[in-house]
C-alpha cells in the first residue's frame, strides 16, 4: 500500500486483490475479518462506514497482519479466534485450527447422545474444539479431553471457561489414552493427525508451514494409529458406547477395517461431511464386548 488516503473500501479492495495473487481462496473474507479485528468492530460495521478513512495507527497494524496473511499464516492465528458450531474458539499457534469438517463428528456424537446424561472422552483435544462444543450444545454431557501438549491443554481450558462449561469439562495432559483411568464412557471421539508424511506436499501451505506438526501428520503408520485408537476405546467405553474417528479423505476404508479387526464393535458406519467426503468412522461397542 503506497502513501495515500486509504478508506475502508479502498483498503479492502486492495487487500482482496493482493490475497488473491497469493492464492488465498477466501481473500475478501479474510481482508474483512482482519480489518474488523484491527478496528475492533464487526464486518457489518465495515459496510456501514466504507468511505471513512483509516488513521496511520490502524493502517500500520493492518499492514502487518496483511503481510503475515500473505505469507499464508492462518487467519485464526492472526486474530486468535476461529468460529466452530456457533462458538468462537480461542486459537493459538500451539493448536490445530478447527476445521468445518469436524462438525460432522460433533453433530454425529450429539445425535447419538441425545439429551440424556453422558460421559464423553475426547482424545487429542487441541484447543478443545470437540470437547467444548459437545459440552456447550449438550447440557447433560460430562467431557474429558486429553492432549500431549501442555500448551494445547491450557488453550482448551481457556475455551471451556470462556463458554461456561468448565465445570463439566476436564482436560489432562498425556498421550492419547495414557492419562485416562476412568471407564464406561458413552462416547470416545477423536480427530487424530491423519495426514501421512508421504502426503506432505498435498497439504495446503498453511497447515504444512504453520500448524503444529504433531497435530497434522500421523506419527506412525495410519493403520497402526487407527488400530490403537479402536483398541484403546474398547477398554474405556461402556457396552453400547460409541467410537467416532475423523479420517482423511482417502483413509476411511483403512480406519473402518481396523475398527472391524478388533471384533468389539457393531453398527460400523462411514459418514460423509458437507463436501460429500467420507469423513467419520462411527461404531458402537458390542453389549457383550
Q: How confident is the model at residue 289 (pLDDT cuts 50, 70, 90)?
A: low
- Residue 147 grid coordinates: 492432549
Q: How confident is the model at residue 207 (pLDDT cuts 50, 70, 90)?
A: confident
Strands, E assignment, the chain: 81-84, 87-90, 118-123, 141-147, 169-173, 185-190, 237-246, 265-272, 278-285
Mean pLDDT computed over every residue of the chain: 94
What CATH number belongs to 96-285?
A: 3.40.50.150
What would the mean pLDDT of 40-45 be, rounded to a whole number? 95
Per-residue pLDDT reduced to its tens digit, 211-262: 898 888 887 788 899 999 999 999 999 999 999 999 988 889 999 999 999 9
**DSSP code of 52?**
P
Task: Show the CA angle centred on residue 217, arms to residues 220 and 250, nearest 5°.
Answer: 90
pLDDT the model gives residue 204: 82
pLDDT the model gives residue 109: 97
Kindly list the distances between the CA atom of residue 232 and the CA atoms of 61, 111, 190, 236, in Å, as whole numbers in the listed order.
47, 23, 12, 7
Q: Terminus-to-terminus CA distance in the chain, angstroms?
A: 64
| Environment class of 173 (CB within 10 Å of its CB; exposed 0-12, middle 13-18, buried 19+) | middle
Please name which of 91, 104, 100 lies closest in space to residue 156, comparing C-alpha atoms.
Answer: 91
Domain boundaries of the chain, sorted by first residue: 8-71, 96-285
pLDDT the model gives residue 3: 63
pLDDT the model gives residue 133: 98
The CB density around residue 260, as the number of other CB atoms within 10 Å, is: 15
Please name which of 95, 269, 267, 276 lies closest in space to residue 191, comparing C-alpha atoms.
Answer: 95
What predicted TM-score, i.e. pTM, was given to this entire model? Answer: 0.92
Q: How far is CA 3 from the centre of its chain?
A: 39
Per-residue pLDDT reduced to its tens digit, 104-150: 999 999 999 987 899 999 999 999 999 999 999 999 999 999 999 99
Amino acid at each position: 500500500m503506497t502513501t495515500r488516503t486509504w478508506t475502508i473500501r479502498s483498503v479492502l479492495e486492495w487487500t482482496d486483490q493482493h490475497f488473491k495473487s497469493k492464492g488465498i481462496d477466501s481473500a475478501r473474507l479474510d481482508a474483512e475479518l482482519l480489518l474488523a479485528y484491527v478496528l475492533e468492530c464487526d464486518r457489518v460495521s465495515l459496510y456501514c462506514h466504507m468511505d471513512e478513512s483509516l488513521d496511520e495507527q490502524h493502517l500500520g497494524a493492518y499492514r502487518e497482519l496483511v503481510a503475515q496473511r500473505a505469507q499464508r499464516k492462518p487467519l485464526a492465528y492472526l486474530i486468535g479466534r476461529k468460529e466452530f458450531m456457533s462458538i468462537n474458539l480461542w486459537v493459538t499457534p500451539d493448536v490445530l485450527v478447527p476445521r468445518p469438517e469436524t462438525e460432522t463428528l460433533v453433530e454425529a456424537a450429539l445425535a447419538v447422545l441425545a439429551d440424556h446424561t453422558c460421559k464423553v472422552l475426547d482424545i487429542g483435544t487441541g484447543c478443545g474444539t470437540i470437547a467444548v462444543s459437545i459440552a456447550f450444545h449438550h447440557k447433560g454431557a460430562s467431557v474429558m479431553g486429553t492432549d500431549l501438549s501442555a500448551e494445547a491443554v491450557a488453550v482448551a481450558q481457556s475455551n471451556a471457561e470462556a463458554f461456561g462449561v468448565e465445570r463439566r469439562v476436564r482436560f489432562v495432559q498425556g498421550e492419547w489414552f495414557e492419562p485416562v483411568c476412568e471407564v464406561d464412557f458413552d462416547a470416545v471421539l477423536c480427530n487424530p493427525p491423519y495426514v501421512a508424511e508421504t502426503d506432505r506436499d498435498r497439504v495446503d501451505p498453511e497447515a504444512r508451514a504453520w500448524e503444529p506438526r504433531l497435530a497434522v501428520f500421523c506419527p506412525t503408520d495410519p493403520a497402526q494409529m487407527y488400530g490403537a485408537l479402536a483398541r484403546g476405546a474398547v477398554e474405556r467405553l461402556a457396552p453400547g458406547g460409541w467410537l467416532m474417528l475423523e479420517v482423511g479423505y482417502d483413509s476411511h476404508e483403512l480406519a473402518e477395517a481396523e475398527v472391524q479387526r478388533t471384533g468389539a464393535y457393531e453398527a460400523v458406519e462411514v459418514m460423509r461431511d458437507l463436501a460429500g467426503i467420507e469423513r467419520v468412522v462411527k461404531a458402537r461397542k458390542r453389549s457383550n464386548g
